[in-house]
Amino acid sequence: MTIGSTDNHDNGSPLADTPLPGATPLLEVNNLRAYIGTARGTVRAVDDVSLSLQTGQALGIVGESGSGKSVMARAIMGLMPPRSARSGEVTFQGRDLLALKKKEKLEVWGKQIAMVFQDPGRSLNPVVRVERQLTEGMRKHLGIGRSEATGRALQLLQEVGVPDPQRRLRNYPHEMSGGMRQRVMIAIALACEPDLLIADEPTTALDVTIQRQILDLLRRVQKERDMGMMLISHDLAVVAGRTDRVSVMYAGRLAEVGATRTVFDSPMHRYTHALLGATPTIDHTRHAPLRVISGSLPDPTSPPQGCRFASRCEHAQSDCLTPGPVLESVGADHEVACLHPVAPHPVKTLTLSGR
Ligand SMILES: Nc1ncnc2c1ncn2[C@@H]1O[C@H](COP(=O)(O)OP(=O)(O)OP(=O)(O)O)[C@@H](O)[C@H]1O
Ligand SMILES: [Mg+2]
């Protein structure tokens, strides 16, 4: 399958995340498309997304279920499902990730870029004990011996809140709960001290208290190690307070990007605004009742030419049905792809209370 270039109403903009002067982006994604062939047609899961992430920066990716967050993360890593196609550019520390040979990929994955997958059950090898899964990468990538690797593994398990780590090292994945497996996945991802961590809903299997602990741990480690982190969640409260910048994704495209504080304090895309109003733990309008965004995502096999949120938007007008809109700058580190955005308002009521 090839991805045609007929759909040229760019939504992503290479300027979306304008780097600080002099800073080389750790990760740069330009015009990424990831299409998946299915029995019901070609799903345009990611449809022209551009973003960049600086060293030591945490970027949140938020959006409703089905908006394309996981497919985007996997496409960046070169992990595409069968019958799929990908186009665009992905550069990591200036290297073209999409052009890597298999051997080069193995060097980059795990060592320089690590990923925590949404489904920890499927990411761990069921027939290999935790110890080997944790130490193998360290021995290979960090060139350390077995006992040193085991020592580090114990420390990592402790860091991610695994009780009795000695015993856990001898476990097979099926001997642990979903939450425990998720923590092991996070420990494996951090083991080789990657430059970039892509964490896709890293705490879904955990209860709220543990979720907060793990998310705060990720943020702390990210800052301490000056690591880049892409934190993906459908829950805005997860990325609030734990990311420097955020990209709001809707139906395969970016609706709004910018400094997390700015986007959450003063959302301008109608979708971001609605999403914040539907998030119980972010007190966006404080006295307003919690609202639900009515309607559903457009059919990903035939998305509309115009704004993909238009059919659900109370403020849509006839021009919203024309091709576009594209991300446009509305202020310092703030871009919005909306023809009739929310008027910027002075910040007064927002409280970010990350879970
Ligand atoms: N392997 C696949 N085969 C076919 N379609 C897929 C596949 N994986 C994802 N999709 C489709 O791609 C679109 C984007 O899915 P994706 O999993 O990226 O959403 P998401 O934003 O990660 O959602 P969630 O918050 O539920 O994890 C959806 O329409 C989904 O049905
Ligand atoms: Mg997902």
For residue range 171-193, what is the model confidence (pLDDT) as tens digits?
A: 999 999 888 888 899 999 999 99
- For the CA of 66, the closest atom of ligand 1 is 19
Instruction: Judge residue 129's burial from the number of C-beta atoms within 10 Å of its C-beta, 0-12 exposed, 13-18 middle, 19 or more buried.
Output: middle
Question: Looking at residues 295-319, what average pLDDT do you find?
Answer: 96
Is 234 touching ligand 1 by the criterion CB < 6 Å?
yes
Residues in the chain: 355
Tens digit of pLDDT for each residue in 241-258?
899 999 999 999 999 999
Ligand nearest to C-alpha 38: 1
pLDDT of residue 260: 97
* CA contacts within 13 A on the Cβ side of 51: 29
pLDDT of residue 209: 85
Is 266 touching ligand 1 by the criterion CB < 6 Å?
no
Residue 264 lies in a domain: no
Ligand nearest to C-alpha 36: 1
Residue 262 lies in a domain: no
Residue 83 lies in a domain: no
Looking at residue 116, which CATH number applies to its domain? Answer: 3.40.50.300
Indicate the number of domains in the chain. 1
Tens digit of pLDDT for each residue in 88-99?
999 999 999 988
User: How many degrees, rounded to 5, is the angle at CA 62 between CA 34 and CA 326?
Assistant: 60
Residue 307 lies in a domain: no
With 50 as the cut, is the pLDDT of residue 331 above it?
yes
- d(Cα 229, Cα 194) in Å, to the nearest integer? 10
Q: Quickly tell me which residue has 């970016």 as its tokens.
A: 254
Residue 152 lies in a domain: yes
Residue 295 lies in a domain: no
- d(Cα 28, Cα 311) in Å, to the nearest integer? 31
Considering only CA atoms, which residue is closest to atom 8 of ligand 1? Answer: 71
Residue 292 lies in a domain: no
With 90 as the cut, is the pLDDT of residue 65 above it?
yes
Residue 72's domain comprises 53-78+100-233
Q: Choose the residue to mutate in 32, 36, 61, 71 for probing ligand 1, maximizing ligand atoms within 8 Å of C-beta.
A: 71
